[in-house]
Structure 1
Amino acid sequence: MQHTILLCGGSGQRLWPLSGAIRSKMFLNLLPAPGGGTESMIGRVCRQLDQAGLGDSALFVTHKDQQALVRRYTGGGYPVIGEPHKRGTFTAAALGVLHLYAGGTAKPEDTICVAPADMFADDDFFRLFHQFTDVLAASGAELALLGTRPARPSDQYGYIVPGPDIAGAYAPVIAFEEKPTRPRAEELLRAAALWNCGVFAFRLSFMLSQLQQMGLPAELKAFADCYPGLPVLSFDKEVAERTSSAVVLRHEGEWRDLGSWAALSAELQQPVTGAGGIWGESADTAIVNELNIPLHVIGVPGIVAVASHDGILVAGKHEANAIKEIMQLNAAVPGYGESSWGSYTVLDRTAGGPQQILTIKLSILPDCELPETTCHYRKHWHIVSGYGEILRNGHYAAAHPGDFFTINPGEQHGIKAHTAMELIELRMPGEADEKPIYN
């Protein structure tokens, strides 16, 4: 039997200000959907997994803070487990494998396919996953990968150097090269190298042996207990580049990494998303605006103009990746976040020494609940639209537009929405920190 583990990770800094630590790029609802409208990267992948007959054996692995959000964007139709800490692709893959093994879902002889959850590829790409079991058996290899023909010499991708094809189905892996210089990338193209798609397949027993060789436990609870002390471990570096027996399947169709504004803007249905417009000589310019105020570009070609509650970016499309280094040096407190129940937007922060008063808009989805929790700050809730119930210290009270509630420190409180609800929260005072406003 074959199982597919989808890894959900990344800091999202290259697509700031729309993505970040709280909202990864895979949740951005910007890609054209087949039936009209738009869909997220992770929603697109779920649809393609189901179409390829892989959905029933799929498992998503994410950081615990995004576990509820992954369930929301995958429609609740797949198992989702949370890492206690972010420790790299190898560690996340190992956690997923041990979860399947410990639960009896997978056996040592089963095939495991590990792939990123934010892939952008055609449907044939996912159908190739079904070949992994036969390829591993026929080749005797420990590891099978997917590679695709490069569209151009790029220094943003890893490369696989293959040997001659065997029976037209796969090729032995000669070498890996991670993000080479542009001249070296041109050499690799001439040598028929492939872009590494980040998809790896192996037998479950192979992962168990890898953990043993690394001195790590192969039992789920013991492995999870080790997480705080583990370094960041990459599957490419810890496994792929050290495996002497690997093969690669060649994908001839569509595959792209939408991890930059240049790549993502090329997939948008129209050049302007949100309020605003493009005017004059502004060819190859795109606007993505989440704010309720218009954003206009006049006579500036080849740029992206992106606005959200976390900030505003205006950059040349091919220079926009520099935002990652800028944000690493100038980290900002997020002003927007999502969870399983809806989203929040910070409307204002009024500083007062080490404390600040926050004004927050909460948007709660129909039939969803803001989980009951202990109030750490005095807060006021003003219901703007929709109706539901406010929970305070175990008692429910009806909540309608115009109602006003005060929650005192130490009180247990939550919200149950019967329809979509919006409310304004005034939190006063609160400690100024970088923790999410809501999880």
Structure 2
Amino acid sequence: MSKKAYCLVMAGGKGTRFWPESTKQKPKQYLTLTGDRPLLAQTLTRFDNLVGFDDRYIVTVKEQEKLVEAASLDLSPKENIIFEPAGRNTAPCILLSLARLIKDGASDDDLIVVVPSDHVILNTTGFQSTITKAMEIAKLRKEIVTIGIVPHFPHTGFGYIQRGEQVENGYRVEQFKEKPDFETAKAYLSSGNFYWNAGMFVAPISVFKEELELHSPEISKFFNPLLENLNDDQKLSEIYNSIPEDSIDYAVMEKSEKVSVCPAEFDWNDLGSWDALESVIEDQDENTIVQSKGHYFENAKGNIVFTPDRFVSLINVDDLIVVSNEKSVVVLPKKDSQRVKNIVEFLKKSDLGEDLL
């Protein structure tokens, strides 16, 4: 019997880098920042012709159930939503999801494609070509294949993947590297042997299980207890909260000798801050209009505007981020986009935080 392929979209994040739009009640993956659908829906749509409707799974937390359903029910089955009892990083998340797939009838030899839910990829054809090649490598070599993004500048905010010898349509992974300083990132770029780590993985289910067991037995020992208690919410929660928190990178990828990297044939943006929208939204009047109810610009350029319910006017100002909703207004220079986190930290300690975060 030919191997099936499943996709697992990890959608439980609660990031606030796009505050005030991204909050605990509506994280980034449920926002319509590019295109006309939320990022989660766009992620699922990219699997058209790759993975069947019934073989698409989403893992999230119960608090986001209505948000997931609103974004995905025409793209994947409601019953394929997996709820984590708590957020415990990506290794326990994947372990729980593997247990669920096996319970639903997946074979150890079937492939699973694990991707985040909140990245922007505009070249769907390139994405599907890359994933198809990664699937072929995973099947032939019985390895975990990670997708490497070809870097186009020395980014210090991403982890890197160093490639080794060529295998099939990819390369052996020499090693994973932590986020570098600027000089190290420049050296990585000039060598031509490094990729950005996008957190996308393709592997046979059995390989994921075996590599977890080999390199993180303190996590993998919970696989059977999870599998046996998937229908008992209380017991499942007790078990899940006993699993050590760890990322799949630390738990498996950085230790495994069964990892290849397939270079991406597509654009990629993890939308780490408001200024990242500039490269994925078409400019209007020399400004990036994400959403607005209308605008008037006079001698204003290079601004990023997100005011979905308001008319916005900008005169004699350049290179600003302007964001407003029914509760908050944020204005800051584009170059300081990361400082949104300072506002979030302030609100966490403020009486206003409960309402605004």
| Interval of TM-score (by shorter of Structure 1 and Structure 2) | 0.7 to 0.9
For the pair 1:166 / 2:179, whether they are aligned, the reply is no
Aligned to 1:177: 177
Residues 29, 297 of structure 1: alpha-carbon distance in 2 compared, 3 angstrom cutoff: same
Distance 1:51 1:303 in 2: 40
For the pair 1:28 / 2:31, whether they are aligned, the reply is yes
AA at the equivalent of 1:19:
S
Aligned to 1:130: 132
Kept in 2: contact 1:87–1:233 (CA 8 A): yes
Question: Alpha-carbon deviation of 1:102?
Answer: 1.6
Distance 2:60 2:104 in 1: 18
The secondary structure found in structure 1 opposite 2:8 is: strand
For the pair 1:10 / 2:13, whether they are aligned, the reply is yes
| CA shift digits 1:116-153 (9 cap, x unpaired) | 11232221213322333431243353x21111211211
Residues 288, 317 of structure 1: alpha-carbon distance in 2 compared, 3 angstrom cutoff: same
Aligned to 1:19: 22
Greater share of residues in strand: 1
Aligned to 1:342: none
Kept in 1: contact 2:155–2:185 (CA 8 A): yes
Question: Alpha-carbon deviation of 1:276?
Answer: 5.3
Residues 223, 203 of structure 1: alpha-carbon distance in 2 compared, 3 angstrom cutoff: farther
Aligned to 1:320: 337
The secondary structure found in structure 2 opposite 1:160 is: strand
AA at the equivalent of 2:206:
S
Question: Alpha-carbon deviation of 1:89?
Answer: 1.3
Aligned to 1:85: 86
For the pair 1:330 / 2:351, whether they are aligned, the reply is no
| Counterpart mapping for 1:176-325 below 5 A | 176-192=176-192, 193-209=194-210, 210-211=212-213, 213-214=217-218, 216-219=221-224, 220=227, 221=229, 224-269=237-282, 270=284, 271-272=288-289, 273-275=291-293, 277=295, 279-292=297-310, 294-325=311-342
Kept in 1: contact 2:275–2:304 (CA 8 A): no
| CA shift digits 1:80-131 (9 cap, x unpaired) | 1211111111111111111111222x11122222111123222121332233
AA at the equivalent of 2:171:
A
Distance 1:49 1:130 in 2: 11
Question: Alpha-carbon deviation of 1:5?
Answer: 0.6
Q: Using CA pairs below 8 Å that are at least 6 residues apart, which structure has the higher relative contact order?
A: 2
Please, what TM-score do these two structures have when normalized by structure 1? 0.69
| Counterpart mapping for 1:137-156 below 5 A | 137-141=139-143, 143-156=144-157
Question: Alpha-carbon deviation of 1:190?
Answer: 1.5
Residues 137, 30 of structure 1: alpha-carbon distance in 2 compared, 3 angstrom cutoff: closer
CA RMSD of aligned residues (A): 2.2
Distance 1:230 1:278 in 2: 54
Kept in 1: contact 2:19–2:340 (CA 8 A): yes
Residues 39, 76 of structure 1: alpha-carbon distance in 2 compared, 3 angstrom cutoff: closer
Kept in 1: contact 2:303–2:321 (CA 8 A): yes
The secondary structure found in structure 2 opposite 1:130 is: helix
Distance 2:242 2:337 in 1: 35
Question: Alpha-carbon deviation of 1:203?
Answer: 2.1
Kept in 2: contact 1:217–1:223 (CA 8 A): no
Question: Alpha-carbon deviation of 1:304?
Answer: 0.8
The secondary structure found in structure 2 opposite 1:232 is: coil
AA at the equivalent of 1:287:
V
Please, what TM-score do these two structures have when normalized by structure 2? 0.84
Residues 202, 140 of structure 1: alpha-carbon distance in 2 compared, 3 angstrom cutoff: closer
Question: Alpha-carbon deviation of 1:71?
Answer: 1.4
Distance 1:310 1:51 in 2: 41
Bigger CA radius of gyration = 1
Kept in 2: contact 1:18–1:310 (CA 8 A): no
Question: Alpha-carbon deviation of 1:11?
Answer: 2.2
The secondary structure found in structure 2 opposite 1:109 is: coil
Residues 207, 52 of structure 1: alpha-carbon distance in 2 compared, 3 angstrom cutoff: closer
Greater share of residues in helix: 2
AA at the equivalent of 2:254:
E
| CA shift digits 1:298-350 (9 cap, x unpaired) | 22211110012342211222311121243134221245xxxxxxxxxxxxxxx
Residues 27, 95 of structure 1: alpha-carbon distance in 2 compared, 3 angstrom cutoff: same
Question: Alpha-carbon deviation of 1:76?
Answer: 4.5
Kept in 1: contact 2:44–2:75 (CA 8 A): no
| Counterpart mapping for 1:379-398 below 5 A | none
Aligned to 2:232: none
| Counterpart mapping for 1:29-68 below 5 A | 29-32=32-35, 38-68=36-66
Identity of aligned residues (%): 24
Q: How many residues align?
A: 327
Aligned to 1:431: none
The secondary structure found in structure 2 opposite 1:306 is: strand
Gaps of 5+ in 1: 33-37, 336-433, 435-439
AA at the equivalent of 2:18:
L
Residues 139, 208 of structure 1: alpha-carbon distance in 2 compared, 3 angstrom cutoff: closer
AA at the equivalent of 1:251:
A
